[in-house]
Amino acid sequence: MNKEVISGRQLTALVFTFVTATATLFLPAFVTHNAGQDGWISVIIGGSVGIIVVLIITHLGMGYPRLTLIEYSELILGKWIGKIIGLIFILFFLYTTAVIIREISLTINSNILTNSTLESITIILFIISAYAVKKGLEVITRVNVLILMVTFLAMFICFSLLLKDMNIELLTPVFSKGISPILKDSVSVAGWFCEVVCIAFLMPFINKPDETRVNSIIGVLWAIITLSFFVALVIMVFGAKLSANLTFSTLEAVNVINLEDYLERAEIIFLIPWILANIVKLSFFYYVTVFIISKWFKIENLNTLVLPVGLLLFSMSIVIFKSNVDLVEFLSKAWGAFSLPIELGIPILLLIVSLIRGKRSV
């Protein structure tokens, strides 16, 4: 751990990737369900909650330098309550990482390897991500920067080719249903953005910890702009009602691209960078899960945990949902309520108790 260091720019890129990677494909359908053409506003509101989480965890991190949330929870709340908080985060990251695996395998199985089984795709993802975790956080962050270049090139190409199919009038009227539906759809968005709680476990790795807050907020703002753009793009192509009924609405928008005999299966332009970005996200969450478990059990060598934790994660990803419909229902209706008490609630609790008791790291 002490030898691995990531820069502020790498942190910004990493925050952007793990917030947007899965969301770019699924989120447009979720935020148009109630908010309709105002779905892009739901993204902005939900993203703002992510900024609040950044402010809280960076405040705590600077008060307890060189320590992670697992460690300073015990200083703030006492050993046993701190241990319970650590256990909650272990279970949360195990479940969340399993959900991420299922999202990726579902997308690949539904759109590329349609004749393959979910299990075979999951095994391939396990091999790739386990190798990345063994290589360490520095390798994951460096690969992420390279993949981002490919991702934004693909986004630019898709946007350029879709310009003629967009109708900006489909984004109007604004606030036609009032603020209540927008706030309702922003809950699931907040769940995605509050994944920035991961930073609480990264601060000891960052070469300039005092810049963590600024770099993280830049990453969140970058993600807000990008996801708002994706939601608006889908709405301008399909309209709000149809967008809400498409599971892979962004992918369906890319499929609208038609260059006659010059380009077939345009979705590959979007899917390949999407899969690469999500492998980075998966590897990162896999790494954080292993790291938290090692801190909780006080195991120095992370590599000893990569295989057993990986086998647990990838087995869970297959059995946690009975069908792909259950996965989509969970993401759209339950994810926010499930994740926010942990991602937002626990940091707020730690901050309040820390301020009341005035505790600081020695």
When pLDDT is averaged across residues 128-152 and rounded to a whole number, the result is: 93
Tens of pLDDT, residues 10-46:
999 999 999 999 888 889 989 998 899 999 999 999 9
Q: What is the pTM of this model?
A: 0.93
Q: Which CATH number belongs to the domain containing residue 241 in this structure? A: 1.20.1740.10
Which residue range forms the structural domain that includes residue 172? 8-357
Would the pLDDT of 359 be above 70? no
Answer whether residue 3 is part of any domain: no
Answer whether residue 289 is part of any domain: yes
- Give the rounded distance of the alpha carbon of 349 from its chain centre: 23
Answer whether residue 292 is part of any domain: yes
Answer whether residue 2 is part of any domain: no
Residue showing tokens 């940091």:
347
Q: Report the C-alpha gap between 110 and 196 in whole angstroms.
A: 29
Answer whether residue 362 is part of any domain: no
Tens of pLDDT, residues 233-280:
999 999 988 888 888 888 888 888 766 555 666 778 888 899 999 999
Tens of pLDDT, residues 267-317:
788 888 999 999 999 999 999 999 999 999 999 888 999 999 999 999 999
Q: What is the 3-state secondary structure (H, E, C) of the chain?
A: CCCCCECHHHHHHHHHHHHHCCHHHHHHHHHCCCCHHHHHHHHHHHHHHHHHHHHHHHHHHHHCCCCCHHHHHHHHHCHHHHHHHHHHHHHHHHHHHHHHHHHHHHHHHHHCCCCCCHHHHHHHHHHHHHHHHHHCHHHHHHHHHHHHHHHHHHHHHHHHHHHHHCCHHHHCCCCCCCCHHHHHHHHHHHHHHHHHHHHHHCHHHECCHHHHHHHHHHHHHHHHHHHHHHHHHHHHHHCHHHHHCCCCHHHHHHHCCCCCCCCCCCHHHHHHHHHHHHHHHHHHHHHHHHHHHHHHHCCCCCHHHHHHHHHHHHHHHHHCCCCHHHHHHHHHHHHHHHHHHHHHHHHHHHHHHHHHHCCCCC
- The tally of domains found in the chain comes to 1
Q: Report the C-alpha gap between 268 and 272 in whole angstroms.
A: 6
Answer whether residue 57 is part of any domain: yes
Answer whether residue 1 is part of any domain: no
Answer whether residue 121 is part of any domain: yes
